[in-house]
Amino acid sequence: MSDRLAAGAIIGILGGGQLGRMLSVAAARLGFRCHIYEPGADCPAAHVAWRTTTAAYEDAAALRAFARAVDVVTYEFENVPAEALDLIEAEAPVRPGRRALSVSQDRLTEKEFLSDLGLATAPFAAVSTAAELALALDRIGTPAILKTRRLGYDGKGQVRITTPGEAAAALATLGGRPAILEGVVDFSSEVSVIAARGLDGSVACYDPGENVHEGGILRKTTVPAQLTASQRSDAVLIAARMVTALDYVGVMGVELFVTAGGFVVNEFAPRVHNSGHWTQTGCVIDQFEQHVRAIAGWPLGNGARHSNVVMENLIGADIARVAEIATTGAALHLYGKAEARPGRKMGHVNRITGPA
Ligand code: AMP
């Protein structure tokens, strides 16, 4: 297949955080070289990648030079500006493609995409003004969550509305940015499916993991999730429909709420996902290699789970526990970040809890 990257080919990665770092390591194992594009200096991926360009997403000359120097471009976060992608796309294929990126960059577009596919979402309404918020609250009721349509992550850019009296303050918190009001979903747990789709259209999904968040940040993922066999296949089928509908190439993280009425899709990330880090220890081929295989036009690898695993994020001051964790036989992954700020993901640890 002509689209299949050969040994030594160069993969461009937009973003140089821990996801870019782990993608670079996986790519190197398959004989590829990674070129990171990242505005910030001394990024985690730069420590392990072949080459790094340190430049802004507004730097057209740097973007063009980067795109000309690589064979394919992928990304480790979803907020790459559209103008930057226009420049890159003129020089090199971008995988996953633009549609997935534009859908996931806007919570309203994302919800509409999911609804059009017939998938359940939280009730939602677009809100830009106080009058629209009042109407939306009338229809959806309280409690509800007001979220910015763009640039929210780890629970940032969102505010809970418990009574209609809190509406004005909630709108002010978001500073007039276009928003979406979501009804609060009554869920028993949160799970995610890491799905992959190859260039040839084949789809492979990892076993769903069960996620626990603290302060809006993922704390732990446990596999297997507490789901029945039929829930497990439902979850996987939802993710498979999404990657297929988007003609997606690469790995996607799909977050689902488990409710009495079935799964409700929260959101998806068009990239490798923190809730898929367990695959490094629980599967022969982890999510990072799977993503590299997909964007390189290789066949997808065996993602079957051979072990039960608990993945725990090491956040901020948790980094002080590394010496103790290193004695436990668990698999440590540290991101090489010098400063342990509160809320900053410093690393994670994968513990095998038994055979699958
Ligand atoms: P998000 O950034 O949208 O993934 O939201 C972060 C976390 O907030 C989710 O993982 C949920 O725990 C919670 N959350 C977000 N939206 C809703 C919702 N509509 N109903 C209930 N919980 C939510």
Kind of pairing between the strands at 217-223 and 209-214: antiparallel
What are the residues whose beta carbons fall under 8 Å from the beta carbon of 191, sequence distance 6 or more? 208, 209, 210, 211, 225, 227, 235, 255, 256, 258
Residue 49 CB-half CA count within 13 A: 30
Q: What is the pLDDT of residues 148-169, one digit of tens each?
A: 999 866 667 889 999 999 999 9
- pLDDT grade for 216, boundaries at 50, 70 and 90: confident
| Tens-place pLDDT, residues 331-355 | 999 999 999 999 999 999 999 999 9
The ligand 1 atom nearest the CA atom of 187: 21
Angle separating helix axes 82-89 and 98-105, nearest 10 degrees: 180
Across the chain, what does the average pLDDT equal?
95
User: Which tens digit of pLDDT belongs to each residue from 230-244?
Assistant: 999 999 999 999 999
pLDDT confidence of residue 1: 44
Pocket flag, ligand 1, residue 336 (CB < 6 Å):
no
Mean pLDDT of 132-143: 96
What average pLDDT does this structure show over 263-290? 98
pLDDT for 294-326, tens place per residue? 999 999 999 999 999 999 999 999 999 999 999
Closest CA to 147 of 160, 132, 130, 133: 160
156 lines ligand 1 (CB under 6 A): no
- pLDDT at res. 89: 96
For residue 204, pLDDT over 80 is answered with yes
| Rounded CA separation 132/139 (Å) | 11
Quick check: CB of 213 below 6 Å from ligand 1? yes
Whole-angstrom distance, CA of residue 114 vs CA of residue 265: 8
Taking the centre of ligand 1 as the mean of its atom positions, its distance from the CA of residue 184, in whole angstroms, is: 8
Q: Is any atom of ligand 1 closer than 6 Å to the C-beta of 190?
A: yes
Determine whether the shortest distance from the Cβ of 267 to ligand 1 is under 6 A: yes
CA of residue 113 to ligand 1 center, whole Å = 18
Nearest in space to 117 (alpha carbons), one of 227, 15, 263: 263
Query: Residue 182 CA: which ligand 1 atom is closest?
Result: 19
182 lines ligand 1 (CB under 6 A): yes
254-273 burial, b at 16+ Cβ within 10 Å, e below that, comes to bbbbbeeeebbbbbbbbbbb
Q: Is 55 in the pocket of ligand 1 (CB under 6 A)?
A: no
